[in-house]
Chain A
């Protein structure tokens, strides 16, 4: 188990380094930040001065070397746009994204497992059909549209919830609801399918023959066996949320890392691009390690 985690951590570190190299050079291929930062009628002298101040006139390899030396000292550089440390800007936004992802995935996981399990136990019955329709709608509905309709209905028409922003617990309701729908639909399908397979296994028939009741059959015997593919999909969906829920952040004015990342790419704010990619990559690596641990806990074969 320990050696597995050690190998995982090492491969994650190598992947992170490759990512830094790729993003550093690729982002610099996309153009000159001075062009975007300065007004269109700025003179060549102003542009050159901007590049000089930010070290962009040096050869790219020199810039990369300097970046690595700073990085070892945990200095991610300053944002070109905001004149603040890039890491500070990214962490400020990432905290919002992390909470949004954590709360959403917790709710999604609980709801999908409960509904999916019950649906699997009642295959073909009205509850199962209802759950299938619900999951299909959830998995296919465009979140942009749901977000706007949510605002119009619940904020403007009924006045129950704030349209957007942050500040109170009520501000979280619409963004989390919108983010909830798609992963819920998807994971519900996986839980249902996986549970149907597990419920057909010989050991379930044996348990039934021994007179074990339905609830222990679902939640004790089959769920553990059915969870492995579910965990994979949960990890995948959580990674997508950690990368930032751009649509939700844009519409609800949630100051998360997704919109920050997109804006920094459009503005060629190199240090913010790199810092945000590194922070999210590290978070995803940590999450993958946690998923590996969860696999090992559920499946003794992996532990051995």
Chain B
């Protein structure tokens, strides 16, 4: 009796002391940073979009990143061009928001106007800049958008506009209401965010009932949490930790490149720019500093983008040819000995400092006079965006993310004469961008293709380096494959339970 009492006591004590961090029935996702807001109109910001997009909030259309269906219906069942400047969206019926109100065309109109309001700075609105867009409610289930100039990709742009109820105030909310399959049920700042599945969702019920997002800045800890069974998915871990069967590599839609400012000598000479490209042994980085699977870039956008040109070949490594080009330029009076500042951003990607150090060394071997400066994000921005620092010729090492399927989200900013981060001013490039932006179908694809080849082969606009690879760790209890869009959205409906 006494013995069993002691054993019982020991059992009770052990149970009480057993760490209470075991899994519940839902999934736990560990992310690198906590969002400051869970605001639908900020969902194009990746740390917000990963939680909000397709989970809490939905859009009229969505891009199929898993298959090849292109643009798919979501809250809009179909869309059509009424005239050259007007798109009509026929909305899904029987959809309700998580607050119980029903979804209609007024909600779409309000969501658009709220996103563009000057009372708050919604990030989504930047995609509609420079275009005059007027929404007009035709009836409860139909809405027209009239644009000036014509916008052939307006349905694609609508894949970014998250829909909120028409009663939503024009100020940032901490209690987002959407039509998505989940609702925000708890937010403990600094600790976790929890979403719960809605019983009254209009579409198929996802398998995952609850999702808890936790935040750990250190990638090793994120990996360790999945290994220890505390989390099910870590969408971003470092390549160094990605050594187990649980780890999956995936193209993460980031392109690394050196932006060249063509306005300053010696970088205004095409031979010097070609020499820059030939002096870098890109293959040497893959599987060493950078992950296996990293692709050599020939364009600013990844190969999944419309018009990506498979005929454009990456520059090979030819240091002798680079030296010849520099010598020829020097003979013509180009000041090739001028010090060039190479600006890199600290912790921009795993191995960023080592990558830029290696590039500096390779460029020096070819005869360039390069000084490397690693800077934090705010200082980097001063070099990256106009007006540019004009003290000396500068190469800006940077990354650009485009998982949205169309180059229009990149090319104006990166290459148009008026682009905020463009290093070139070329009338043919401007013309191709303008025409491709306005074109549709095969013509659009061909124009983007032509632009990619022209920039890479004829202008040698910059030093394109790599299409990057990310690593995710996925626990044994769930079924999840990351996609090129995982950086910016992570739909819980795409997670299966084993």
Contact pick for A167, options B21, B36, B228, CB 8 Å? B21
In the assembled complex, the CB of A162 is this many whole angstroms from the nearest CB of chain B, namely: 4
A42 and B21: CB pair below 8 A?
A: no
What 0/1 readout, one digit per residue, does chain B (85-129) give for beta carbons within 8 Å of chain A?
A: 000000000000000000000000000000000111101011001
**Given A83-B37, A162-B21: A268 in contact with B378 (beta carbons within 8 A):** yes
In the assembled complex, the CB of A29 is this many whole angstroms from the nearest CB of chain B, namely: 12
B215 and A161: CB pair below 8 A?
A: no
Q: Please name the residue on chain A nearest to B121 by beta carbon.
A: A50
Q: Please name the residue on chain A nearest to B33 by beta carbon.
A: A263
Q: Does A30 contact B (CB under 8 A)?
A: yes
A167–B23 CA distance with the chains assembled, in angstroms: 13
Contact pick for B21, options A84, A168, A268, CB 8 Å? A168
In the assembled complex, the CB of A121 is this many whole angstroms from the nearest CB of chain B, namely: 35
Of residues 140 to 196 in A, which have CB atoms within 8 Å of B's CB atoms? 148, 151-152, 155-156, 159-168, 170-171
A152 and B224: CB pair below 8 A?
A: yes
User: Which one of A58-66, A102-110, A249-257 is at the B interface?
Assistant: A249-257
Contact pick for B228, options A30, A83, A96, A155, CB 8 Å? A155
**Given A40-B421, A92-B189, A253-B214: A163 in contact with B378 (beta carbons within 8 A):** no
Q: Does A286 contact B (CB under 8 A)?
A: no
A156 and B19: CB pair below 8 A?
A: no
Q: Does B381 contact A (CB under 8 A)?
A: yes
What 0/1 readout, one digit per residue, does chain B (182-207) give for beta carbons within 8 Å of chain A?
A: 00000001111000000000000000
**Given A43-B126, A250-B217: A156 in contact with B227 (beta carbons within 8 A):** yes
A160–B21 CA distance with the chains assembled, in angstroms: 10
A36 and B381: CB pair below 8 A?
A: yes
Q: Does B221 contact A (CB under 8 A)?
A: yes
A36–B214 CA distance with the chains assembled, in angstroms: 24
A30 and B378: CB pair below 8 A?
A: yes
Contact pick for A163, options B191, B217, B221, B382, CB 8 Å? B221
The 6 closest A-B pairs by CB, nearest first: A255-B190, A81-B36, A83-B172, A162-B21, A170-B19, A41-B413
B215 and A36: CB pair below 8 A?
A: no
Give the interface centre of A42, A148, A155, A253 by most chain B CB atoms within 10 Å.
A253
Chain A positions within 8 Å of B, measured between CB atoms, are 30-31, 35-43, 45-46, 49-50, 53, 79, 81-84, 89, 92-93, 96, 148, 151-152, 155-156, 159-168, 170-171, 250-253, 255, 259-260, 266, 268
B21 and A39: CB pair below 8 A?
A: no
Contacts of B192 in A (CB 8 A): 165
**Given A40-B385, A168-B19, A253-B221: A35 in contact with B37 (beta carbons within 8 A):** no
A41 and B420: CB pair below 8 A?
A: yes
Chain B contact patch, size range: 35 or more
**Given A40-B421, A49-B118, A96-B190: A151 in contact with B381 (beta carbons within 8 A):** no
Q: Please name the residue on chain A nearest to B223 by beta carbon.
A: A156
In the assembled complex, the CB of B164 is this many whole angstroms from the nearest CB of chain A, namely: 16
Contacts of A46 in B (CB 8 A): 121, 125-126, 129
Q: Does B139 contact A (CB under 8 A)?
A: no
Contact pick for A82, options B21, B36, B224, CB 8 Å? B36
Of residues 17 to 46 in B, which have CB atoms within 8 Å of A's CB atoms? 19-21, 36-37, 39, 44-45
B221 and A164: CB pair below 8 A?
A: yes
In the assembled complex, the CB of A261 is this many whole angstroms from the nearest CB of chain B, namely: 13
In the assembled complex, the CB of A51 is this many whole angstroms from the nearest CB of chain B, namely: 10
A108–B216 CA distance with the chains assembled, in angstroms: 27
B126 and A41: CB pair below 8 A?
A: yes
Contacts of B129 in A (CB 8 A): 43, 45-46
A151 and B21: CB pair below 8 A?
A: no
Q: Does B51 contact A (CB under 8 A)?
A: no
A250 and B218: CB pair below 8 A?
A: yes
Q: Please name the residue on chain B nearest to A45 by beta carbon.
A: B129
A30–B375 CA distance with the chains assembled, in angstroms: 13
Contacts of A250 in B (CB 8 A): 217-218
B123 and A38: CB pair below 8 A?
A: yes
A163 and B20: CB pair below 8 A?
A: no
Q: Does B377 contact A (CB under 8 A)?
A: yes
Q: Please name the residue on chain B nearest to A162 by beta carbon.
A: B21
Of residues 255 to 301 in B, which have CB atoms within 8 Å of A's CB atoms? none
Q: Please name the residue on chain A nearest to B379 by beta carbon.
A: A31
In the assembled complex, the CB of A269 is this many whole angstroms from the nearest CB of chain B, namely: 9
Contacts of B477 in A (CB 8 A): none
B224 and A156: CB pair below 8 A?
A: yes
Given known contacts A160-B19, A250-B217, A251-B216, what 5 new A-B pairs fall within 8 Å (CB)?
A39-B126, A159-B228, A165-B191, A168-B20, A250-B218
What 0/1 readout, one digit per residue, does chain B (147-158) give for beta carbons within 8 Å of chain A?
A: 000000000000
Q: Does B225 contact A (CB under 8 A)?
A: yes
B381 and A40: CB pair below 8 A?
A: yes
Q: Does B450 contact A (CB under 8 A)?
A: no
Contacts of B227 in A (CB 8 A): 156
What 0/1 readout, one digit per residue, does chain B (362-383) give for beta carbons within 8 Å of chain A?
A: 0000000000000011100110
Contacts of A148 in B (CB 8 A): 218, 220-221
In the assembled complex, the CB of B424 is this many whole angstroms from the nearest CB of chain A, namely: 16
Q: Please name the residue on chain B nearest to A268 by beta carbon.
A: B378
In the assembled complex, the CB of A44 is this many whole angstroms from the nearest CB of chain B, namely: 9
In the assembled complex, the CB of B227 is this many whole angstroms from the nearest CB of chain A, namely: 5
A82 and B37: CB pair below 8 A?
A: yes
B21 and A170: CB pair below 8 A?
A: yes
In the assembled complex, the CB of B127 is this many whole angstroms from the nearest CB of chain A, namely: 9
A250–B220 CA distance with the chains assembled, in angstroms: 11
Q: Does B466 contact A (CB under 8 A)?
A: no
